[in-house]
Structure 1
């Protein structure tokens, strides 16, 4: 109960421990889980709200309380998955004191994620409906204010402040590193040249190469000693 307005906060359970209609986070997650299973199995076009209600174990009335339509539900699913990988990448970087160590674990983790079957299937789904559903593409490709790139940007800024890196445009540096570590893998997976997630040895090889290029461009000093961190990661 708000002391200022005397109204119940939207996200708070009511007196009986129940949430207002459309505000139960567990129910929302349950619906998104069901939608994810259906979208991954059938694709966006073939999936129906009826399919999703059955998979999620909720009524049609309930699903429409939480989501306006299938496009809204797909967008929510993508946003949730993006938030999860962003949180994971942030945790990796916040726990890394050495530049090369953080870049290595970030690069391998993100490349594995962006080439996963779930991400590739979602991307192909969006591309397949781009002409007749441009709003879906805008929602999918327009990242929120906090995303994987901004998390890496924050990491680079931190090490610039510490004197470990020199970069005038840290956002550019972050985009370049992401492209070097995952761009080629992602394109090959998206267009079917690679049938599965690249093996760890290949990811390792590419990420280590990307770190050498990155540090040659942005390293503030000789990193030959610190590079041992990467070799033993």
Structure 2
């Protein structure tokens, strides 16, 4: 594909096609752009940020910026995905590191709250909520790659525990969403509205998550006879 054959059957590679394949593939340059975008989006928000400012912050030309990302929306989604991938691996690890159900749920919940209440995550949520009405595809992608994926991963963990006879749940996805919401109670919403200017204290995170685990197990835990 992308080459024509001469009478001697020697392929002639078309330079333009080859260049298109390699353009935008330098991981160091991509990381450089995302670092610059992180600084600009965090400082100015989505609407105020411009591609010119992002290019300047990343120390690349505007043309180079568009080789890697076709528009500001795709750049923002890529940035969110990078930051989430770095942070959520530790959160998911809580579901596989130990056999104790209560401990696993508590560590998962605490990690989740720390992630969601961090500065970048809060800014990202605010930005997406602000533009989701006029950019529904961006909002949907943010939701599906973040909250929905997290709930699905947790539901798989819960299904395994149902199979082990530790939980009694008919709809593990619904139960997962309920647990996620319980862990965020009184913490995330104040952060999103800037009523809570700093991330919550560790003691408060533990207090809220411990209560969430107690309520969850009271509803879904299998009672020993």
Shared fold (TM-score, shorter chain, > 0.5): yes
| Aligned mates of 2:174, 2:63 — CA distance in 1 | 46
Shift of 1:69: 0.9
Moved more, 136-145 or 188-197: 136-145
Runs of 5+ consecutive residues of structure 2 not aligned to the other structure: 1-17
Q: Hey, what's the Cα distance between the residues in 1 that align with 2:118 and 2:60?
A: 28
The TM-score with structure 2 as length reference comes to 0.83
Q: Deviations over 1:127-150 (max 9, x none)?
A: 333444333323323336982222
What SS does structure 1 have at the residue aligned with 2:22? coil
SS at match of 2:145: coil
How many positions carry a matched residue from both structures?
205
CA contact (8 A) 2:185 2:208 kept: no
Q: How is 1:70-85 mapped onto 2 (pairs within 5 angstroms)? A: 70-85=72-87
How far off its partner does 1:214 sit? 0.8
TM-score scaled by length of structure 1: 0.80
**Which consecutive unaligned segments of at least 5 residues does structure 1 have?**
1-13, 223-233
Using the TM superposition, give the Cα deviation of residue 182 of structure 1 relative to its aligned residue in structure 2, in angstroms.
1.0
Bigger shift: residues 23-32 or 93-102: 23-32
Which structure has more relative contact order (CA 8 Å, sep 6+)? It is: 1
Is the CA contact 2:168–2:221 (under 8 Å) kept in the aligned structure 1? Answer: yes
C-alpha RMSD of matched pairs (Å):
2.1
The structure richer in helix per residue is: 2
Larger Rg: 2
In 1, Cα distance between the equivalents of 2:150 and 2:86? 10
The answer as to whether partners of 1:85 and 1:148 remain within 8 angstroms in 2 is no
